[in-house]
């Protein structure tokens, strides 16, 4: 199995071929290699030492796209912060990761309360020296990707060079990517799915078009302007795109669509198939703790659109009963992910690591430590996996995983609520939407204003229900089952 340090991905394209388009800049693979080496040298010149964490908090600038490779080359651990996060969430990630440096836009730095040393993106310049490709141990950490958890605080998933490298190799393989690929990178680079857009395209020798958008129509225009061949998205984006008029042939260049971060309802899948008849549609499933898990063969998507397919290369997926034994075909169980894509655990959180990362079931081929997802799956007689739900009440809004605690803490911090209970309800466009039950002022506008200023947009409750008191069960805890019944 060929596994290399992550920064070696610059070597997979023709030195003169395009590797990255960011804004008005287009960089070749030769220029990508030059920049990665210079950025890595500059980071070390700033007295960062091997294993230190370097955080970035910015849109998809050239530097944001190159930092995963540059940090890896310098022996550092990259901590990308989603640009939609607000200052309090960013401050938590910086403190938890122990970042030695943050690079961010001046506007973001102005509202941040943190003791971490910073450099404004506007003041950044690459180093004068060039650091050559590294020889780091591929088991060393390369990134911390923060994902929300049951504590209500984002947890840093520890990913090694090998995790990220094999994730790139696997995706490039099962999507059939090659040097002609032109990937429109829409998703945040702080997400495993978003970051893999960069890495898998570079592994294939193709070109990444880094793109931040406000409106779905911006995406349509970009597809045509850049002759995009591969588009990765989440269900809310697909809902927006199918409402647009594509009759002028704007999507003719598309040959691959990939979905993750939530289920694509069959009517939506049929609309995508009708709009983009020449594109292979990959319905996928993944979790940050294992980077990527399954994909449905596009040839089966028309007849099995309810499935997330089978394991991708390097992944072993098992559906198990509560005692760890293998579930029978058609029997619901917990999905367990084994193999070399499994992350190294949660940063500085032994308890949560022990809960999620446990020895693989005895019947696993790979053995070792596996990621116990908490997601409920069924493997059909046809061998295909079908998602059934989550054990841990996590809410997934537009591909963002939220815990009820996280939303409830935000509501209480607003001063408008003295009690709060959050849960997810099915939503055709978002996957799930947040419904928030509160006891408090009853001032919905004030509460929504607070959420808008202090939390990411995806945390905004779709519905707020005010109560004189929240229902409780025999133990005195909030009766969430009753609240769910009330929401129907």
Instruction: Give the HSE-up count for residue 92: Cα atoms under 13 Å, Cβ half-sphere.
Output: 15
Q: What is the mean pLDDT of residues 218-225?
A: 97
**What confidence score (pLDDT) does residue 478 get?**
77
- Contact criterion met (CB below 8 Å) for 83 and 59: yes
| pLDDT top residue among 236 and 22 | 22
Please, which residues have CB within 8 angstroms of residue 145's CB and are 6 or more apart in sequence?
80, 156, 157, 159, 190, 191, 192, 195, 288
**What confidence score (pLDDT) does residue 154 get?**
81
The class level of CATH for 395-487 reads alpha beta
Give bridge partners of residue 432 from the DSSP assignment.
426
**What confidence score (pLDDT) does residue 475 get?**
45
Q: What is the mean pLDDT of residues 325-345?
A: 96
**What confidence score (pLDDT) does residue 50 get?**
96
Query: What Rg do the C-alpha atoms of the chain give, in angstroms?
Result: 22
pLDDT band for position 169 (cuts 50, 70, 90): very high
Count CB neighbours of 462 within 10 A: 14
Q: Give per-residue pLDDT as tens, 297-315.
A: 999 999 998 899 999 999 9
User: In the predicted model, what is the mean pLDDT of the chain?
Assistant: 93
- 11: which 2 tokens? 């070597």
Total count of residues recorded for the chain:
488
pLDDT band for position 235 (cuts 50, 70, 90): confident
Position 263 pLDDT exceeds 90: no
SS (H, E, C) 45-57: HCCCCCCCEEEEE
- Contact criterion met (CB below 8 Å) for 336 and 295: no
Collapsing DSSP to helix, strand or coil, 58 comes out as coil
- Contact criterion met (CB below 8 Å) for 50 and 83: no
**What confidence score (pLDDT) does residue 152 get?**
52
Q: What are the backbone angles phi and psi of residue 10, rounded to the nearest 5°?
A: -65, -15
Q: What is the pTM of this model?
A: 0.87
Q: Render 366-410 in DSSP notation, one character per residue.
A: S-SEEEEEEEEEEE-TTS-EEEEEESS--EEETTEEE-HHHHHHH
Collapsing DSSP to helix, strand or coil, 118 comes out as strand
Collapsing DSSP to helix, strand or coil, 32 comes out as helix
**What confidence score (pLDDT) does residue 390 get?**
66
Position 178 pLDDT exceeds 80: yes
Please provide the CATH number assigned to the domain covering 6-379.
Answer: 3.40.50.12780
Task: Give dist(CA 285, CA 289) in Å, integer.
Answer: 12
Q: Give per-residue pLDDT as tens, 83-133.
A: 989 999 999 999 999 999 999 999 999 989 999 999 999 999 998 899 999
* DSSP code for 346: B
Please, which residues have CB within 8 angstroms of residue 205's CB and are 6 or more apart in sequence?
12, 13, 14, 17, 29, 178, 179, 181
Q: Picking from 153-167, 280-294, 398-412, 424-438, which range would have the lowest pLDDT averaged per residue?
A: 398-412
Distance between alpha carbon 344 and the CA centroid of its chain, in Å? 17
Q: How far is CA 242 from CA 221, 236, 271, 276, 300, in A?
A: 14, 10, 7, 10, 21
Q: How far is CA 243 from CA 224, 270, 274, 395, 427, in A?
A: 17, 13, 12, 26, 17
Give start-end residues of each CATH 3.40.50.12780 domain in the chain. 6-379
Position 151 pLDDT exceeds 50: no
**What confidence score (pLDDT) does residue 391 get?**
62
Q: How far is CA 31 from CA 8, 92, 116, 227, 467, in A?
A: 14, 35, 31, 22, 60
Task: Give dist(CA 126, CA 40) in Å, integer.
Answer: 8
Q: What is the mean pLDDT of residues 145-167?
A: 84
Name the E strands within 72-204. 77-80, 101-104, 118-120, 141-147, 155-160, 182-185
């Amino acid at each position: 199995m060929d596994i290399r340090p992550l920064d070696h991905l610059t070597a997979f394209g023709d030195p003169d071929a395009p590797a990255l388009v960011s804004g008005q800049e287009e960089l070749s693979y030769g220029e990508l290699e030059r920049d990665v080496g210079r950025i890595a040298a500059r980071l070390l010149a700033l007295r960062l030492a091997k294993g230190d964490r370097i955080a970035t908090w910015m849109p998809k600038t050239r530097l944001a796209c190159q930092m995963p490779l540059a940090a890896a080359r310098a022996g550092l651990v990259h901590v990308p912060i989603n640009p939609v996060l607000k200052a309090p969430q960013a401050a938590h990630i910086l403190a938890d990761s122990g970042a030695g440096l943050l690079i961010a836009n001046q506007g973001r730095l102005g509202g941040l309360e943190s003791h971490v040393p910073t450099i404004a993106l506007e003041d950044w310049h690459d180093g004068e020296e060039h650091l050559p490709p590294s020889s780091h141990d591929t088991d060393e950490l390369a990134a911390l990707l923060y994902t929300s958890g049951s504590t209500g605080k984002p947890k840093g998933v520890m990913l090694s060079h090998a995790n990220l490298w094999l994730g790139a190799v696997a995706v490039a393989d099962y999507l059939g990517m090659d040097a002609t690929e032109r990937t429109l990178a829409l998703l945040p680079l702080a997400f495993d799915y978003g970051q893999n857009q960069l890495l898998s395209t570079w592994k294939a020798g193709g070109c990444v078009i880094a793109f931040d958008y406000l409106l779905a129509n911006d995406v349509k225009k970009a597809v045509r302007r850049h002759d995009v061949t591969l588009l990765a998205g989440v269900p809310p984006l697909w809902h927006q795109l199918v409402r647009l008029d594509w009759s002028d042939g704007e999507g003719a260049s598309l040959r691959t669509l990939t979905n993750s971060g939530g289920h694509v309802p069959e009517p939506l899948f049929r609309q995508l198939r009708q709009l983009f008849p020449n594109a292979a549609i990959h319905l996928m499933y993944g979790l940050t703790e294992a980077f990527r898990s399954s994909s449905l063969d596009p040839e089966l998507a028309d007849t099995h659109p309810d499935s997330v397919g089978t394991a991708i290369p390097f992944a072993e997926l098992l559906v198990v009963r509560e005692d760890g034994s293998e579930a029978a075909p058609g029997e619901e169980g917990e999905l367990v992910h084994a193999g070399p894509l499994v992350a190294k655990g949660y940063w500085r959180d032994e308890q949560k690591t022990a809960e999620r990362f446990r020895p693989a079931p005895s019947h696993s081929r790979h053995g070792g430590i596996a990621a116990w997802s908490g997601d409920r799956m069924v493997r059909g007689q046809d061998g295909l996996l079908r998602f059934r739900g989550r054990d841990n009440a996590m809410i997934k809004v537009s591909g963002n995983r939220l815990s009820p605690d996280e939303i409830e803490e935000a509501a209480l911090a607003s001063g408008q609520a003295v009690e709060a209970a959050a849960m997810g309800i099915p939503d055709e466009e978002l996957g799930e939407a947040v419904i928030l039950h509160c006891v408090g002022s009853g001032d919905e506008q004030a509460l929504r204003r607070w959420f808008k200023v202090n939390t990411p947009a995806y945390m905004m409750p779709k519905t707020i229900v005010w109560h004189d008191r929240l229902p409780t069960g025999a133990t005195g805890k909030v009766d969430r089952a009753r609240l769910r019944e009330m929401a129907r």
